């Protein structure tokens, strides 16, 4: 079982609200990711970080922002939620072992924007 946590697990919120999805890991991993996943679709990378004070945008255009002030913490913020943001958000961290990167995923946050 990976030591990576996400809160909240479920969130229902109205349009225009500001929300922050929390992600923390206790494995000391440098690289962390945020993915968006819709039912029956592949995971889309929206943000990633190589370490403290490093943040990069992923492949999928996103109106969210992230920060990485501490190694263990990688929160994602939506300044103004919209119904199009309804999705599942997965956080992951990774470590390189024997030359290969292994990702560990959190349980996800299911977001519904009304």
Partner 1 sequence: KNQVEQSPQSLIILEGKNCTLQCNYTVSPFSNLRWYKQDTGRGPVSLTIMTFSENTKSNGRYTATLDADTKQSSLHITASQLSDSASYICVVSDRGSTLGRLYFGRGTQLTVWP
Q: Is 57 in the site for partner 1 (CB under 8 A)?
A: no
Nearest approach in angstroms of CB 31 to partner 1 is 5
* Residue 47 beta carbon to partner 1: minimum distance, rounded to whole angstroms: 14
- Fill in the per-residue mask, 88 to 107: x = in contact with partner 1 (CB under 8 A), - = not in contact: --xxx-xxx--xxxxx-xxx
Per the CB < 8 A criterion, the answer to whether 33 and 25 are in contact is no
Residue 11 touching partner 1 (CB under 8 A):
no
Does 17 engage in binding with partner 1 (CB under 8 A)? no
Question: Per rule CB under 8 A, is residue 75 in the interface with partner 1?
Answer: no
Contact 76, 34 (CB under 8 A): yes
45 forms part of the interface with partner 1 (CB under 8 A) = yes
Strands (E), 1-114: 4-7, 10-13, 19-25, 31-37, 44-49, 56-57, 64-66, 76-78, 87-97, 100-105, 109-113
Inter-residue contact 10 to 113 (CB < 8 Å): no
Name the residues that contact partner 1, by CB under 8 A.
Answer: 2, 4, 30-31, 40-43, 45, 50, 90-92, 94-96, 99-103, 105-108, 110
């Amino acid at each position: 079982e990976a030591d990576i946590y996400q809160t909240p697990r479920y969130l229902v919120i109205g349009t225009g609200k500001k929300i922050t999805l929390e992600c923390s890991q206790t494995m000391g991993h440098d690289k962390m990711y945020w993915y968006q996943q819709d039912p029956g679709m592949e995971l889309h990378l929206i943000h990633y970080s190589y370490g403290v004070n490093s943040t990069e945008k992923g492949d999928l255009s996103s109106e969210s922002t992230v920060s990485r002030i501490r190694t263990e913490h990688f929160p994602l913020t939506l300044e103004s939620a919209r119904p199009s943001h309804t999705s599942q958000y997965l956080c992951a961290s990774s470590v390189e072992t024997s030359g290969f990167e292994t990702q560990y995923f959190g349980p996800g946050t299911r977001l519904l924007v009304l």
